[in-house]
Structure 1
Amino acid sequence: MNQPTNQPTNQPTNQPTNQPTNQPTNSLKTAHNSDFFGEKLAKLRQILPEIFSEHALDLDKLKTLLGEHIASNERYGLNWAGKSVAYQALQRPTHNTLTPCPDESVDFDTTQNIFIESDNLEALKILQKSYAGKIKMIYIDPPYNTGNDFIYHDDFSQTQKDYEIAIGDRDINGQLLKSFKKNSKDNGHYHSNWLNMMLPRLHLAHTLLSDDGVIFISIDDNEQAQLKLLCDEIFGEENFISNISLKMKNVAGASGGGEDKKLKKNIEHLLIYTKNYQELTPFNPVFELIEIGNLVQMYKLENKSWKYTSVIVNYGEKKYIKSTTDGAGDEIKIFLRSGYKILSVTELAKLENISEVEVYKKYARNIFQTAMPQSSIRPRVMEALNGMVFDTDLFSIEYIPKSGRNKGVVYEQFYKGEKFRLFSWLSDVSEDIDGKLYKKEMQGTFWDLTSQMNNLSKEGEISFENGKKPIFLIKRLIEMMGDKNDLILDFFAGSATTAHAVMQLNAEDNGNRQFIMVQLPELTDEKSEAYKAGFKAISDISKERIRRAGAKIKAENPNKTLDTGFKVFKLTGSNFKAWQIDDDNAIAEQLEMYINPLKDNAKEIDIVYELLLKMGLKLTATIEFKDGVYWLTCENKSYAIVLNSLSQDGFNTIIAKKPAKTVVLDKAFLNDSEKSNVILQFKDANLNFESI
């Protein structure tokens, strides 16, 4: 990125006194998230214009229109103390912004990954304009509200200084204040406080999701019931996908039980919702991999019947008999197989003097069981051969399936015996990994993660004592999504397991997924190992884990081009002065202030990023400073920002390049006449222009 990064824009200048002033009504000067429901109302107006009166929603007209479809006073729903306050927190605009921190980043100029150190409610509001409808997957692991958790205290009437105190600095009396507070079960509003925290964040998350996007939320029994109802309200009950039970530990290591009247707790939950069920692409299936040798031994010990015990060592001579057709009228060729040879796994092991495990490895693609499937193909083949006599009982067919994993290619099936039992191949339900054969067991809504929890403390090579989740879990969720170019958000980042999982999976399957992590700089416990290791805040742990994990992944894949970097941004106050009048005498002072709306010592690059966000551009937009103009490129479109005085030739250059939008600070103009002239030039060129 070629531009001055620390240059203040407010240095004294000799500009004329008739420099144009700016009123605080400019669109880019408004706060982030200033009208959360504005777009929703606009869409409603397009559908039902008759329920609006003088640009405002008329509830009486809406009730008249809907008639009997209006819910009665007795209705099903989730209510709690402070719900209206939570909606006020959602609608309250933020006047803060995100400031780049290249020194804490890795590959700042080129990476497409983002780490935001901020209260997540503020961050989600700031991201709305740039990322609404663009996030494919969200995973969050919020506080479980066990009675020992800290939950966020959403009081944003604070000044920026108050905010900085709240995230960890001590006050003048040495007392530590936080923007999160312990939510004890003795608190009369125990559940309400937690719901008040979650409601605005989930609403904002819903807006960020793409129409086919999915959110995964980890939770335990303390708030699972409340969270399910809250998500039904925000995402819609029709967009609920699943509630997966996660076995996190064995009963022997679980809490509860004994003298307690409750059963031991070893299960957590994973709620899954989509934004629009009709737009959702089906998930990739989830499998548990079990090493074949271990699986066969387990079946024997449990006296279970293991079906994959036959090996076809010679397919025999293939001879065409006749053809039939499938339901669509397409050809199915039928062949007989003479001189074939089939042995059991045990027989083959003895014959070759090897173990059965070695047979499974050596002959994996030849091992099968027979089945009687419900299929339209099998009876057609049987009918075609009815009455014919053969000297073999093994047949094969070839056809081109219209659907499924073999769609569009010639597919071969084998049938054996009078009842035409279909060969079901072990290779179709197994996978070879590093020379070992694993059986793929389809998973439903119960996942056993106990084996993934053993070395959890070592993952990421960094200690984190606040409910670390295994990389295995997050990778599985990402793999379910299917697309290797997804943008993935985690706004309760913790130790940044999600970021680690994204980078690791990209290395494994050559994906190009990107992540956005958000983590509050919550102080670590002074007695914790993390604190002793020099990590004063959880966000420090998050960033360091991404650095270490990225470096390790890159070292393990020297021949791959991988994005293991991340841009760091921190929540700060706006670079623009706030329009705030406490009394009539302040009006003149405020108008004088708006001769130059920038705060003292505001850095140019910080202003550019604040404007970038207000323009609805991504934080990964490329920025180049050339001839007094900041050129931004985002999603194949160019944008221009001018912060200081620019010649007429400079404006002509901008017009010639035809950017999607140009933003100019008023102080860049010598006077109102020059400003008016430039505005007319851009209007004549049919180019989007805005001054501040």
Structure 2
Amino acid sequence: MAKKNLQKLELTWIGKGEEPKLEPRILIESPEYSYGDPNSPNMLIHGDNLLALKALEQDYAGKVKCIYIDPPFNTGAAFEHYDDGVEHSIWLDLMSRRFRILHNLLAKDGVMFVHLDDNEAAYCKVLLDDIFGRSNYINQIINATNKPFGFKSTSGGLFKQANHIFFYAKNKFEFNLNASKLFIEKGYDTQYKYVFLNPDDDRESWKWDTISNVIAKNQGYANAREAKKKIEDFELQVAMFAIENADNVFRTASVSGGAYLKRKETILKSKSIKDKIVTHPNDDMDYLFIGGERVLSYKERLKEIDGYKLPGELITDIWTDISIEGLANEGGVDFPKGKKPEKLIERCIDMTTQEGDLVLDSFLGSGTTAAVAHKMKRKYIGIELGEQAHTHCRTRLQNIVTGKDLSGISKAQNWQGGGGFKFYTLAPSLLKKDKFGNEIINPSYNADMLAAAMAKQEGFKYQPHESSYWKQGQSSEQDFIFTTTQFLTVEALDSIKDEMQPGETLLICCKSFQKECKGKFGNITIKKIPLMLLGRCEYGKEDYSLNIINMPSEDDSDNQPIEDDSSVLKINQENQKGTQPKLF
């Protein structure tokens, strides 16, 4: 029987499948820009986010609990130099590369939120389905933005108010929403206007009155009507009384359907005795009836929200309660038309993480995700290419550490300062061309940087041994790497071999070596750099942002790029002089 041709339905674009292999860079800490607790795990990375994500991949794959990104919406403004067809393909290519690494970084129970408007939302959904799998789609959340007034409301088309947040799990069966965080505060429901006066007595003797009458009488007024005229905050007092006495506050509601048929005789009896509590015999639901209607307790409407018992309602996939307007001063930094509300990010993180979990944002912008994660006592990694990594993100996070920032969710989280973050840049490309067009090791790399970079290139974790100079990194308990810029002699090789323990293996990366060294020992492999690196990946490219954000100029000494890994180095005055760098 002939096999049927199986066709795959897929999204395609110009350049799909032609993506270059990325160079795995090392991340270098800039201590002068780090702030607060020197042992903080929090990272602010300045540099191209595709290269930075690649740099993180080796050490953070499978460790990130929550990713929130707010990528360019592709409205046309960010890609004004491209025609419409190329623009769309570029955006898809840009996102596809990043989504694949982000997916790899997520823990098995991790989630990702992608925030867009309708320009690319439909295509993004298909792209995410392809990478995450349709079975791992959780929700499309609609977030209402600006109100329909002003110039935009007279444009002649339907006013755009919806943003789209795609919510995916790495593995839907491994992930669970935080059930206690799925409620938002709702105002007092005035239908719950009654209160039992003597709840400690037997049910048959319970009496009740309206909350309004109880408050009025307690303050010496004849009735609620008189009290309302005299007490300015009377309605607020009613609402507070209802919360404080929720166990005894109630409303009544009619019963229908099967519940009515099962309790019909009791309901009819209750209608005839309107001033008494009536219960149905042996009721599995423990219904109480007043005047033929069921008693509904206010305590069932209260939920724990921000540490308080408050009237709450279930969060849905339409979020109209979080305004995206009036954010100019939030975080103490100005970021017109790009800043997202801290409350929005708080909800995403609150629903999906616990304290201490790792949160990542690779389009950090003004720093909102990192700011919220810091206040919520989550670990975080934020990546930003633009100058705002310094002017906005770093400034904002410093103000949070010092407790100066009291905006956004600070009050709700009782934030008073503390913690810290480390500031990183991407190391420059490992290889560059000399004036003759030959690939050479970048002269800006010192010996320690080169050792860290080669460890990363070869899949080793860079962690120099305290006493054995040739044990610079490990890929397993007995597998080591050693990188040297010196000419490797037979004598040097013999010396290393004498120190090796049975079962240990070693990869030596060097610029040159005596021909007698090659293959001398079965457990030692020697490779020549840069020859061993040629053709592996794309070297020398610093910007994969596709002109969305201009890279900082070389003259901007405050804006050096970053990268991260266990091969993370601190570059300070000491290691610039050639001494051993401090490791992350």
What TM-score do the two structures reach when normalised by structure 1?
0.59
Distance in 2, Cα, partners of 1:444 & 1:477 = 13
2:122 partner SS:
helix
Q: Deviations over 1:362-411 (max 9, x none)?
A: 34223223467999999999999xx9xx9963669999x9xxxxxxxxxx
Q: 1:550 corresponds to which residue?
A: 401
Q: 2:236 corresponds to which residue?
A: 357
What is the Cα deviation at residue 559 of structure 1? Answer: 11
What one-letter code is carried by the residue in structure 1 that aligns with 2:216? K
Distance in 2, Cα, partners of 1:500 & 1:469 = 11
Distance in 2, Cα, partners of 1:307 & 1:383 = 26
On the 8 A contact 1:117/1:570 being kept in 2, the answer is yes
Q: 1:208 corresponds to which residue?
A: 105
Out of 79, 84, 95, the residue aligned to residue 12 of structure 2 is 79
Q: 1:137 corresponds to which residue?
A: 66
Q: 2:385 corresponds to which residue?
A: 520
Distance in 2, Cα, partners of 1:127 & 1:392 = 68
- Judged with a 3 Å threshold, the aligned counterparts in structure 2 of structure 1 residues 578 and 379 are, in CA distance, closer, same or farther, namely farther
On the 8 A contact 2:255/2:293 being kept in 1, the answer is no
- Judged with a 3 Å threshold, the aligned counterparts in structure 2 of structure 1 residues 236 and 108 are, in CA distance, closer, same or farther, namely same
- Judged with a 3 Å threshold, the aligned counterparts in structure 2 of structure 1 residues 566 and 661 are, in CA distance, closer, same or farther, namely farther
Q: 1:326 corresponds to which residue?
A: none
1:568 partner SS:
strand
Distance in 2, Cα, partners of 1:666 & 1:95 = 19
- Judged with a 3 Å threshold, the aligned counterparts in structure 2 of structure 1 residues 501 and 394 are, in CA distance, closer, same or farther, namely farther
Q: 1:665 corresponds to which residue?
A: 483
- Judged with a 3 Å threshold, the aligned counterparts in structure 2 of structure 1 residues 470 and 660 are, in CA distance, closer, same or farther, namely farther
Q: 1:602 corresponds to which residue?
A: 445
2:182 aligned with 1:286: yes
2:26 aligned with 1:97: yes
Aligned length: 480
What is the Cα deviation at residue 501 of structure 1? Answer: 0.6
Out of 317, 320, 326, the residue aligned to residue 445 of structure 1 is 317
Q: 2:347 corresponds to which residue?
A: 476
Q: Deviations over 1:250-275 (max 9, x none)?
A: 111472x4352x21112211111112
- Judged with a 3 Å threshold, the aligned counterparts in structure 2 of structure 1 residues 347 and 418 are, in CA distance, closer, same or farther, namely closer
Distance in 2, Cα, partners of 1:432 & 1:275 = 27
Q: Percent identity?
A: 26
On the 8 A contact 2:400/2:418 being kept in 1, the answer is no
1:103 partner SS:
coil
What one-letter code is carried by the residue in structure 2 that aligns with 1:231? L
Q: 1:566 corresponds to which residue?
A: 421
2:123 aligned with 1:226: yes
On the 8 A contact 1:372/1:422 being kept in 2, the answer is no
Q: 2:367 corresponds to which residue?
A: 496
List runs of 5+ in structure 1 lacking aligned partners: 1-63, 151-181, 297-305, 319-336, 402-411, 507-512, 522-535, 631-639, 643-653
- Judged with a 3 Å threshold, the aligned counterparts in structure 2 of structure 1 residues 561 and 641 are, in CA distance, closer, same or farther, namely farther
Distance in 2, Cα, partners of 1:494 & 1:84 = 29
Q: Deviations over 1:582-633 (max 9, x none)?
A: 99xx7xxx9xx8xxxx754634664565467558789xx9x89956869xxx
The within-5 A match list for 1:186-265 is 186-253=83-150, 255=152, 257-260=153-156, 262-265=157-160
What is the Cα deviation at residue 188 of structure 1? Answer: 3.6
2:115 aligned with 1:115: no
What is the Cα deviation at residue 682 of structure 1? Answer: 4.2
What is the Cα deviation at residue 551 of structure 1? Answer: 1.9
What is the Cα deviation at residue 414 of structure 1? Answer: 6.7
**Superposition RMSD on alpha carbons, in Å?**
4.6
Q: 2:211 corresponds to which residue?
A: 345
The within-5 A match list for 1:285-364 is 285-292=181-188, 306-317=190-201, 337-353=203-219, 355-364=234-243
- Judged with a 3 Å threshold, the aligned counterparts in structure 2 of structure 1 residues 666 and 468 are, in CA distance, closer, same or farther, namely same
- Judged with a 3 Å threshold, the aligned counterparts in structure 2 of structure 1 residues 120 and 432 are, in CA distance, closer, same or farther, namely closer
- Judged with a 3 Å threshold, the aligned counterparts in structure 2 of structure 1 residues 472 and 494 are, in CA distance, closer, same or farther, namely same
Out of 367, 376, 381, the residue aligned to residue 249 of structure 2 is 367
What one-letter code is carried by the residue in structure 2 that aligns with 1:369? R
Q: 1:300 corresponds to which residue?
A: none
2:298 aligned with 1:425: yes
Q: Deviations over 1:118-144 (max 9, x none)?
A: 111111222221111111111111111
On the 8 A contact 2:44/2:424 being kept in 1, the answer is yes
What one-letter code is carried by the residue in structure 2 that aligns with 1:281? N
Out of 487, 499, 504, the residue aligned to residue 358 of structure 2 is 487
2:32 partner SS:
helix
Q: 2:162 corresponds to which residue?
A: 267
1:195 partner SS:
helix
1:453 partner SS:
coil
- Judged with a 3 Å threshold, the aligned counterparts in structure 2 of structure 1 residues 423 and 669 are, in CA distance, closer, same or farther, namely farther
What one-letter code is carried by the residue in structure 2 that aligns with 1:310? Y
On the 8 A contact 1:345/1:356 being kept in 2, the answer is no
Which sits farther off after the overlay, 605-614 or 110-119?
A: 605-614
Which sits farther off after the overlay, 426-435 or 187-196?
A: 426-435
What one-letter code is carried by the residue in structure 2 that aligns with 1:142? P
What is the Cα deviation at residue 489 of structure 1? Answer: 1.0
Distance in 2, Cα, partners of 1:674 & 1:375 = 90
On the 8 A contact 2:464/2:472 being kept in 1, the answer is no
1:138 partner SS:
strand
What is the Cα deviation at residue 216 of structure 1? Answer: 0.5
Distance in 1, Cα, partners of 2:405 & 2:391 = 21
2:360 partner SS:
strand
What is the Cα deviation at residue 417 of structure 1? Answer: 4.9
Distance in 2, Cα, partners of 1:211 & 1:444 = 25
Q: Deviations over 1:277-326 (max 9, x none)?
A: 2222135453332443xxx5xxxxxxxxx4312212321335xxxxxxxx
Q: 2:54 corresponds to which residue?
A: 125
